[in-house]
Amino acid sequence: MITYDRLFIGGAWVEPSDPGLLGITSPHDRSVIARAAQARPADIDRAVAAARTSFDEGGWRRTPPAERIAILRRFNALREENAERIAALITLENGSAAWFTRAGQAGLTRQANAYLKAAEEFGWEETFASSDPASPVRSVVRREAVGVVAAVIPWNSPFSSATSKIIPALVAGNSVVLKVPPENSPSMGFLAELLEQVGLPEGVVSVLPADRETSEYLVRHPDVDKIAFTGSTRAGRRIASLAGEQLKRVSLELGGKSAAIILPDADIEKAVAGVKFGSLLNNAESCIAQTRILAPRSRYEEVVAGLKGLIESLKVGDPDDPGTFIGPMIRPDQQARVRDYIRLGVEEGARLVTGGPQIPEGLEEGNYVTPTLFADVDNSMRIAQEEIFGPVLVVIAYDDEDDAVRIANDSEYGLSGGVWSADEEHALAVARRIRTGTVTVNGASVAFDGPFGGFKASGIGREYGAVGLGTYTEYKTITV
């Protein structure tokens, strides 16, 4: 049994204000796998006070960037050394397939290295001569830390979401209070153990599991300067409104309902194979999942048949089993939500090609759903417009390229998307027309050096690389 009976506040393990421990249950069989203390408002006050003091009176923000980078490199190396344990913890608490959590560790390395490379090349302080001869001044332009950062992350990809915030925030010289979901208490407790070892000054970082009410208390806290949030669009709207009241800096990475456009000249077999990873990764509990498949009418049934074969070939079951591709949903309420959407699809008149609301045979004790494919879907249907966050794909027919782009853009979201074509330059031209923050061509992986984030209701601001690092800094101009 994993137990965390203390909270990591300001770099030290302390007694929580509430001594009760929350039982964390396995998505696979609903057994209790861990017990952990949960933060309450009093603990938030303590963590924010530590962060405020460390920022205002400590030396972290005045530490040369090279030294801050070196400490975060140590953290990244320590994380790599413990990759197997991290992967196992996420599989245990989230139900993510073991192959995925192990493979994801390499992505975490690339993500961190991109931030650290950007930090080494970042213009922390630059000097410019005036372009006006009548005003012979020079300007010193500095990028300084924002202050106390409240980083709030979702449960579906905890280490990736956490490190995508704490690494740039800390490298920039901020102090951080990381609020994590209760479900991720085991993996995030281990994250705190790693941070404890790398030599960060007192007060600079706290890691607190807490419920939504306590999370809102943190967001509202008057001593927080910036909120960095990843989660649902509904929660993002609430956070944006609270941030607006206090003029806090805010960055939001929110939901998605992304489209994959299969152009008429595409290799259907390759496109279908790509859907396996672009649409169903991490049990499809992913904000970037391309769950709307747009197929040309001329090849529509070919695409549907290919996707049917793919989905029926995927093994659903124990996430620890090396052969499993789809594990359980994280909680019973998420399982019920996905099953309700499947029933809704049938009610809306979509053709149920494979799957359905039934729980897979032999997996009734866990939070399992049957991967499902709908065809003959109109883009106005709720199953095509709303984020389901589970292995449910819809196939939508289009008439021509303009129609495909129109359908792809006919969404309140704009986080991700994909284009499949035998002609890469043509695919690139189509990708430029899609109003979304990231687009992959022929299944390319996301590059961590480029900015990541959303258009429309998918968020505000960007993460990754130099652009993501910059969101944790303020510009200061000094004229001499």
Beta strands in 81-135 (DSSP E): 125-129
Please state, in angstroms and as integers, the Cα–Cα distance from residue 359 to each residue in 355, 364, 371, following that order. Answer: 10, 6, 10
Distance CA 283, CA 155 (A): 13
Contacts of 271 (CB under 8 A, 6+ apart): 260, 262, 303, 306, 420
What are the beta bridge partners of residue 23? Answer: 35
DSSP state of 353: E
Kind plus residue range of the DSSP H or E element containing 89: helix 83-94
Token couple for 25: 């249950």
- Spatial contact of 397 and 301, defined as CB atoms under 8 Å apart: no
Phi-psi region of 442 (alpha: psi -120 to 50; beta: other; left: phi over 0): left
- Residue at token pair 């770099």: 11
- Spatial contact of 60 and 172, defined as CB atoms under 8 Å apart: no
Distance CA 353, CA 310 (A): 12
Residue in 93, 287, 387, 463 annotated catalytic: 287
Distance CA 311, CA 253 (A): 29
Active site residue 183: no
Residue 76: phi and psi, rounded to 5, are -65, -40
Please state, in angstroms and as integers, the Cα–Cα distance from residue 58 to each residue in 14, 55, 116, following that order. Answer: 21, 6, 23
Active site residue 287: yes
Token couple for 207: 């890691």
Distance CA 147, CA 168 (A): 13
Token couple for 116: 């650290």
Residue in 253, 285, 387, 463 annotated catalytic: 253
CA 38 to chain centre: 22
**From edge to edge, which strands make up the β-sheet containing 125-129?**
125-129, 138-145, 473-479
The terminus-to-terminus CA distance of the chain in angstroms comes to: 62
| Residues designated as active site | 253, 287
